Structure 1
């Protein structure tokens, strides 16, 4: 087994507190999975031959150098190793990636460094290797706490594997989160309430709870279109969502974002960077980024196919296929779209500075009167719980 004998003591410093600022994150996408889940439309790929990790590591480091040229000097506030299944990486690969980030940008001790992991790929020795490399937060793709639904969701683990992974994560990492998917076929509110309370009893400080969505291009999409997969209707989904909010709040893990719940101080720093509309460098196949350059924000997107991305990086130093300069109006819309997902809401002064205007008074009054939004003093605007149920409509109204 590929492990690291000595821990990286600087990266294992106490976690820095959340300053409330948007920050600068680095996202690294590992695109490979052991199997493709039927609901998943993420950029993930199955390979039946071993992946050349040394070659991909060298490419990640090359693309980092290119992103550093685009971003300029920055202080990293979080790192996220996502996928795919990053827990298929060797610990030495993770260590080399983190070392590369530290070379390209200023990387203070104690920042949040998260890795996604699947319970089926969890081993204690490998987890300890990731911890030694500097990972201080793990996010487990548990998805369900009964074997029937795990099989339906195409997961390679069972509940026993999930429990083992949760225990290991709690023992080895300072912070741990896991994901569940609800609004599954025939799922009742009572069943979900029991499962959610069970999950909270296992969780340390953070849960990500997503409604099952049917995404075009997935096997579930074809089954749903053919009438062979029936998911809860809008009314039932709303009841499940409301039960989720009530139970997590009563158990001390309220929502801080539409689908994310945490004990105070345990919110995901990296995801807050997205939702607060901070900058982030996206590295790896299919990764997206947002980098401020002067008065504009540069949106980047890389080649999605892993081998094609690898060839581009080795030839050109990066796999970026799209670079778009976002103007003030586009930035204002993105700020609104992301910020209204948060219970802390949107910084109105920042939105007004980008958009050059105040919210339309008639539209705002309508949303206020119907209880979909509320003001927090004079500085912030946020969705109410009712508004979160129709978030896309609220954003569309305010952005006009």
Structure 2
């Protein structure tokens, strides 16, 4: 019997937890350290890959993603050790996508050539804003000129370059965003990730908001207008919103992220990394130790996995609904049929919030900004 991952792909996520500074909006597992023993970390990451390879057996690896934290703080030799271990354990697909997230500073850009030499073929730059005042407010260590220089270097070295921007920032108007996004689209190669600023619990921005000192955030109406403007400008420039926050030209979608959204398998390596692996017919969720030193100690002594949970059929269907509705292509209704509340499904269908085409369903353009609502309505209580 063919398992889902065989149709939808198998990937590797590698988490590098270190940053030069903690951004006030960031709720990712990122930590500032005065120094990092890169050789020790490289060995531990490689060891975890080899351990996971024993569990999975020889699968074809379709994508690798170095996320963080700030992976561009890794030395090229660290990346080489990780990729060499992965290559020893799993055969690489001929068209494997190997992405590394990078900050657009001059120091990190100088490592790009080394990453490419060892196999990285796609870079995602955390530009976040094309406005120096807002970059400072977001706690970024680069300015607009740094970002433009790093982007130019990346374009010379990699065929595929993406970058991120955050909008719905403090005191940002529609005209401001129109100008900034237009500039970004003129710069872009083939992919943009565009995220609305969200104030997450546990961040510095959250603390400021609780004290009433985070001023100038957009109203709900302005946030909706900013979203609509984003879709309009990107579509007009040939960048389809293939996922709620991701826009790409034809043929330039992120293979690794599609693997998540389509329900493929992926090994999660590194502090706080999550994975989804189908082993002996059972879909399992893995979670690594979050604190970097705790993970390093555990990985050096056998396994960096803190917890493994067997997922029920309903668990899997719930994940497929949550992830699949994010995609413009939607998902196969057979993946979630056991979960769907059909009377409410038909109500949403009649209200043009979702669509159905043969065996596939998805959120309409009208419904996509309201995904949490759609999921709450579609899933049985």
Task: Give me the TM-score of the superposition, normalised by structure 1.
Answer: 0.91
1:344 lines up with 2:341 in the alignment: no
1:374 lines up with 2:355 in the alignment: yes
Identify the match of residue 372 of structure 2 among 364, 367, 392: 392
Q: Please state whether the residue corresponding to 2:375 is helix, strand or coil.
A: helix
Q: Please state whether the residue corresponding to 2:114 is helix, strand or coil.
A: helix
1:303 lines up with 2:289 in the alignment: yes
1:287 lines up with 2:273 in the alignment: yes
Q: Please state whether the residue corresponding to 1:162 is helix, strand or coil.
A: helix
1:9-28 per-residue CA deviation (whole Å, 9 max, x = no partner) reads: xxxxxxxxxxx942111000
121 and 290 in structure 1: CA distance in 2 versus 1, 3 angstrom threshold? farther
How far did residue 371 of structure 1 move?
Answer: 1.6
Q: CA RMSD, aligned part only?
A: 1.4
Does structure 2 retain, via aligned residues, the 8 Å contact 1:296–1:328? no
Q: Please state whether the residue corresponding to 2:326 is helix, strand or coil.
A: coil
More deviation in 336-345 or 388-397?
388-397
Alpha-carbon separation, structure 1, partners of 2:246 and 2:91? 28
Identify the match of residue 180 of structure 2 among 192, 195, 208: 195
**Equivalence map 1:154-169=2 (5 Å):** 154-169=139-154
1:165-199 per-residue CA deviation (whole Å, 9 max, x = no partner) reads: 11111111010000000000111111111110100
**Equivalence map 1:6-21=2 (5 Å):** 21=7
Q: Please state whether the residue corresponding to 1:169 is helix, strand or coil.
A: helix
Q: Please state whether the residue corresponding to 1:198 is helix, strand or coil.
A: helix
**Across the two proteins, how many residue pairs are aligned to each other?**
374
Alpha-carbon separation, structure 2, partners of 1:125 and 1:182? 28
Alpha-carbon separation, structure 1, partners of 2:156 and 2:221? 40
How far did residue 121 of structure 1 move?
Answer: 5.4
Which residue of the partner structure matches residue 277 of structure 1?
A: 263
Structure 2 gaps, min length 5: 1-5
1:146 lines up with 2:131 in the alignment: yes
Identify the match of residue 82 of structure 2 among 80, 90, 97: 97
Q: Please state whether the residue corresponding to 1:65 is helix, strand or coil.
A: helix
1:88-145 per-residue CA deviation (whole Å, 9 max, x = no partner) reads: 1111111111010011111133310000000125455411111101100000000000
Does structure 2 retain, via aligned residues, the 8 Å contact 1:87–1:121? no
Which residue of the partner structure matches residue 133 of structure 1?
A: 118
Structure 1 gaps, min length 5: 1-19
Does structure 1 retain, via aligned residues, the 8 Å contact 2:76–2:114? yes
**Equivalence map 1:116-265=2 (5 Å):** 116-120=101-105, 122-230=107-215, 231-265=217-251
1:365 lines up with 2:351 in the alignment: no
